[in-house]
Structure 1
Amino acid sequence: MKEKTIKKHVAERPHVVFLIADDHRGEAIGAFGTEDVQTPVLDSLVSSGTACRNTHIFGALTGAVCAPSRACVHTGIPLFRATIGKDMTNREHSSVIRSDVRLMPQTMRDAGYHSHAVGKWHNDKASLARSFEGGDKLHFHGMSDHTQVPVYDYDPTGLYPKEQEYMEHTFSTELFTNAAVNFIEDYEEKQPFFLYVAYTAPHDPRTAPEPYASMYEKSDITLPPNFMREHPFDTGDMVVRDEKLAGWPRDEDEIRQHMADYYAMISHLDTQIGRVIEALKTKGIYDNTLIVYTADHGLAVGQHGLMGKQNLYEHSVRIPLIFHGPGVPQGKQVHALASNIDIFPTVAGLCEVDLPVETEGISLHPIFSGDSVGERGIVGSVYRDLQRMVTDGRWKLIRYYRSPITFTGTERIQLFDLQDDPWETQDLSAEPQYAEHIERLASELAAWMHASSDILQDKPVIPVPV
């Protein structure tokens, strides 16, 4: 595979700490001003780094959005070309990354970085084995109780047989942070490191330890403007596991408690991230470390009458993305459109590491400095054979299908003006004056689906609005 000559000497490159959470929606950070949640550590990273506020996940072909979304982050490639299991008729999990695709940690390792993994790896074991030369407390499941975490020690053979798995009872966020801190404290190599830390928080069960469990009173929680007791129509996955975490119709007090528990998990995670940062400072390498914080997807937690991430509303497809360190402007919140396939190219760009030729995402680094050349005009997202979305940053079209496999879902569209209605409460698709936006976005969606090798591309994009 032909690549450009590496420009910067390995020893001069920054270390990288890549932090990824599970279920952390894009707005649930105090510095962004729209949530009650307390996140002083992440707020500090925002104030002294750059936050990409309009980053969307590419999507998933199953209800377990975590694995395919992480595959997109790891590879910088659209879901349909990054994974095995892209045929929706066989109900594949889309967790296995193609063996001929190079991943972000693999690329960093090949460029001279010491790659080390901690925590959740919801993709195949072979992709981890070719990416990391070390690791600790490796979790190959989608979730677990936070005080009963099945993990592996790093296996240089890459096999990870079941009999080597063991149970840890330290709270997951602290368990993974302990492993990350130990790695930083013990690191003595001359080459820079790429430390990948994947948390299972704030994913349910939302059982934060004290004092965080008591930090938020449900009576103090403000319900979002798009809270609904019931979603107005069948999205196609109305009884998936996540949706069963609260009763139907949604009760205001119950949702407030879910939100309080969700915020408690995030605040606890924030404190643990602070421990990683302190370890970098104590080691004397904080100023020469690129810190990246993101999540695999968002979460509804009562918005639109939904609980999970199996939908294409902003609360579920928009994720936090924060960069901090060498080459990153301070105190910027960028609103240019981005996809999670752009994360890998941005990390590589900041470290002056050349990308594999098959990578399709774009580096956001030039956009940090105000260069609009190469900005995305639209981003899209997929969910199973049930939903497709496209947005140009202001106008957003969601296309719903009725699945020929499960016979669930609704043939219809929604149109939102995100500038005037960021909570997506007013569907404008039936208003004649907005027909031109529907037609334009429908064309953009069809082109995006075709370019992404979406297997639904041959289906009509515009149904009759309901």
Structure 2
Amino acid sequence: MKQPNVVVFFTDQQRFDTTGVHGNPLGLTPNFDRIARAGTHLYNMFTCQPVCGPARSCLQSGKYATTTGCYRNGIPLPQETKTMAHYFKDAGYSTSYIGKWHLASEDPVPAHERGGYDEWLGANLLEFVSDAYDAVLYDNENNRVKLPGYRVDAQTDAAIRYIHKQQDMDHPFFLFLSYLEPHHQNHTDNYPAPDGMEEMYTARWTPPDLAALGGTAHQHLGGYYGMVKRLDEALGRLLDALKSLDMLDNTIILFTSDHGCHFKTRNGEYKRSCHESSIRVPTAIYGPGFMGGGQVRELVSLVDLPPTLLDAAGIEVPADMQGNSVVPLVNRTAAEWPQEVLVQISESMVGRAIRTERWKYCVVDPHKHGGEHAGSERYEEAFLYDLQADPYETNNLIGMETFEAVTSDLRHRLKARMTEIGEPEFEIVPAEQRHPRQRSVTVGEMKHDNWPKHT
């Protein structure tokens, strides 16, 4: 059997709790839930940069945004940066990109800024050149192509046409299918679902963090959920196409998203924060090497996915990739795995955070602008959450004397992770101490998270 085909089904701004396997009661994602249960569900999956362009640079390269230099939107991916397309192409794959790119300097995207993909039907800023029922992309020759139908359906049709062309080829393919949905439509600041679907989901179910904090959730959740529903239907259509062409058994399908959405509850927009609503995303891998993988509970980062796909396809993982393949986790052969994920935050702030099984810890430089500075030489402690007692992050514990030992431990862990990936020398200034009357945390609680790694 030839090497497996690989499809990346990539959504934009999708919260993890839109899926049934993460407790959403609305039945929005039967196809995602199915591949998560039959394949491998990366239950604790996090972006390493909760904003579009930087997250995409990490997923394409397997490197952190400060390494590629794409620490904010609007910075093109350096042409010397090798992407997954380069590695798959070198291994004999045909490569194709369909949809939103957000790593170039302009639209249409010049050929030299397409990250090495051979076949192209994309746009740098899809939200600006198209609309929900005005699906416009650009082809290999940068001709404007207007596709029929709702934008999700139009891109899915294009992907199925590409897959159909590959069925008689003697080499495998790597397809990166990048949707804008369920991202908001920028010029209207709303979430345009397919006609009739927003009404189906308005005032149905609100995640507890949004119910507590408000924001724009009551205005936007109906449309957002309708978009998620149509994306899941697109996933089902893609699976059906592969099955009908006798390609499903030899195709790896990765479903993931660049970041989540907090609906203006944590700042004045939708992401760019350390909170679960911004950084935790739905992720499942289906196909050869991942069937029956179960629910992996280790903490996985977006930067881990490129080495994972290369590893699963039998391609040597480059030594300069900063993520780790999850294949040993799936096979239960991993000797060790990082006990936290690192998150770099830009634009809204210059921030850094780690998320462990139990704790969330974040530092910021309040004197620097996140759109102008990639990092800082001096951070101040800003957030500490006990995710076991406060999973919706409504009680910031930073500075509380009863959590001083926890904070100290997390401070050292964050410093170690930042240093490990090559961030310049810096200091972290402890928060001013507060003395509330509440419970303390024991050393045993601090050191031991008794959550299962696999179920």
TM-score, shorter chain, exceeding 0.5: yes
* TM-score category, normalised to shorter length: 0.7 to 0.9
Q: Give the whole-Å Cα distance in 2 for the aligned partners of 1:401 and 1:197.
A: 36
1:414-447 Cα deviation digits (max 9, x unpaired): 2112223221122222432211110011111122
With structure 2 as the length reference, what TM-score do the two structures score? Answer: 0.84
**Given residue 357 of structure 1, which amino acid in structure 2 is its aligned partner?**
A
**CA pair 130-301 structure 1, distance change in 2 beyond 3 A:** closer
Return the offset for 1:75: 0.5
Aligned partners of 1:228 and 1:302 also within 8 Å? no
Gaps of 5+ in 1: 1-10, 87-91, 230-249
> 1:329-344, aligned counterparts within 5 Å?
329-330=291-292, 332-344=294-306
> 1:29-428, aligned counterparts within 5 Å?
29-34=19-24, 36=26, 38-59=28-49, 65-83=51-69, 93=73, 95-124=75-104, 125=109, 129=114, 131-136=116-121, 138-141=122-125, 143-144=127-128, 145-155=131-141, 160=142, 164-168=143-147, 170-187=149-166, 188-205=168-185, 206-218=191-203, 220-225=204-209, 227-229=211-213, 250=214, 255-301=217-263, 303-304=265-266, 307-330=269-292, 332-384=294-346, 385-405=349-369, 412-428=381-397
Q: Does 1:446 align with 2:415?
A: yes
Aligned partners of 1:97 and 1:123 also within 8 Å? yes
Q: Give the whole-Å Cα distance in 2 for the aligned partners of 1:117 and 1:421.
A: 40
Aligned partners of 1:414 and 1:429 also within 8 Å? yes
Q: Give the whole-Å Cα distance in 2 for the aligned partners of 1:279 and 1:394.
A: 41
**Given residue 140 of structure 1, which amino acid in structure 2 is its aligned partner?**
N
**CA pair 127-381 structure 1, distance change in 2 beyond 3 A:** farther
Return the offset for 1:305: 7.1
Aligned partners of 1:413 and 1:462 also within 8 Å? no
Query: How many residue pairs are counted as aligned between the two chains?
Result: 413
Return the offset for 1:165: 3.3
Q: Give the whole-Å Cα distance in 2 for the aligned partners of 1:360 and 1:344.
A: 10
**Given residue 446 of structure 1, which amino acid in structure 2 is its aligned partner?**
K
Return the offset for 1:95: 3.5
1:316-344 Cα deviation digits (max 9, x unpaired): 11112210001114261111011111000
1:161-201 Cα deviation digits (max 9, x unpaired): xxx33544632101110100111122221101111110010
Q: Which has the higher contact order (CA 8 A, sep 6+)?
A: 1
**CA pair 127-212 structure 1, distance change in 2 beyond 3 A:** farther
Two-structure CA RMSD over aligned residues (Å): 2.5
With structure 1 as the length reference, what TM-score do the two structures score? Answer: 0.82
**CA pair 113-304 structure 1, distance change in 2 beyond 3 A:** same
Return the offset for 1:302: 5.4
Q: Give the whole-Å Cα distance in 1 for the aligned partners of 2:209 and 2:115.
A: 46
Match of 1:336, SS? strand
Aligned partners of 1:181 and 1:276 also within 8 Å? yes
Q: Give the whole-Å Cα distance in 2 for the aligned partners of 1:128 and 1:328.
A: 32
**CA pair 406-282 structure 1, distance change in 2 beyond 3 A:** closer
User: Which residue does 2:376 correspond to in 1?
Assistant: none
Return the offset for 1:263: 0.8
1:189-244 Cα deviation digits (max 9, x unpaired): 110111111001001131111342332131x2235145445xxxxxxxxxxxxxxx
Identical pairs, percent? 26
